[in-house]
Structure 1
């Protein structure tokens, strides 16, 4: 199994390792799966998730690939970089979700970028978890950092944590 380069992908350590870009509404909260008005996670071992509030909540992690023991030569061979995230809505509130991942040079210039559409989940869904993923390939040489950012909020503007839920974030490098 490839090493997940995201630290604390499911909130087991609250917000440790995540840089809090936006803390809108009532901010971020870590809750237990399935949570109020939620669904079970589709695989074992995922016990917690990050919940968003009624204004935009966004958090990011920057991965230093050289500190993760990848060499410049390995990275310049352009191995596939696979990013994924899991998100879900509550069954009683609609929400918005977005994922943005940037491959950065040693001076943090963007070499390649993936931004999902702004995903809108209507209210009254089954609360099922959905995976979003993207594979970077043929992105050019010079990648030394990866910036993983996800964000969301509820679409009903209710006080509390009725927004999108996120867990099991992942960044892996093949080969």
Structure 2
């Protein structure tokens, strides 16, 4: 099974390993279901990160060579699988955003995943999964930049913004299907 390259993906170690941009009252780690009121059933996940009334972002830069991958492995264009979970609170609307970049040795962007910001209705904001896979992005991958966060959509003091947890970045070997096409199929054990 592929390993998660993000450290502290669900707040088990509070805010350790994350580079923070803290608007409003900053980031807070809460136990699930906490103030969001939404339960989530993810294996081993018991906490989430909560945002405040101004934009809160947190990021990690993953150095793939330092993580033990060789340049040859990375130049074979492994599939990069990204996962994230977000929810709002039942009493306040919020905004969620995520940006993931694949970077070369000079930290120049090779590929980007940056969907539009998602505005969450407090009456319809259960835990929602985001999944994206990168493939066929060319040679030269050396770093992955992962950033996500958001805010509430009212200027309420405290932590009424979006909640995030269960984040992951994993690398998998690409495979060819029996017909020889280069589909997004991946080996189960990862890299």
- Would you call these one fold, judging by a TM-score over 0.5? yes
Normalising to structure 2: TM-score of the pair? 0.88
Q: What is the Cα deviation at residue 123 of structure 1?
A: 2.1
Preserved contact between residue 95 and residue 120 of structure 2 (Cα < 8 Å): yes
Deviations 1:103-134 (A, max 9, x none): 01111111111102100101223x42110011
Matching residue of 1:137: 135
SS of residue matched to 1:157: coil
Tell me how far apart the structure 1 counterparts of residues 146 and 8 of structure 2 sit (CA, whole Å).
13
Runs of 4+ in 1 over 3 A off after TM superposition: none
2:107 counterpart of 1:108: yes
Preserved contact between residue 33 and residue 49 of structure 1 (Cα < 8 Å): yes
CA spacing shift, 1:98–1:37, aligned 2, 3 Å:
closer
Selected match of 1:166 from 164, 173, 191:
164
Map 1:42-81 → 2, pairs under 5 A: 42-81=41-80
Normalising to structure 1: TM-score of the pair? 0.96
Tell me how far apart the structure 1 counterparts of residues 3 and 17 of structure 2 sit (CA, whole Å).
16
Q: What is the Cα deviation at residue 45 of structure 1?
A: 1.7
RMSD of aligned Cα (Å): 1.0
Which of the pair has more CA radius of gyration?
2
Deviations 1:147-173 (A, max 9, x none): 000020001221100000000110000
- Name the count of aligned residue pairs: 173
Map 1:18-29 → 2, pairs under 5 A: 18-20=18-20, 22-29=21-28
Gaps of 5+ in 2: 174-191
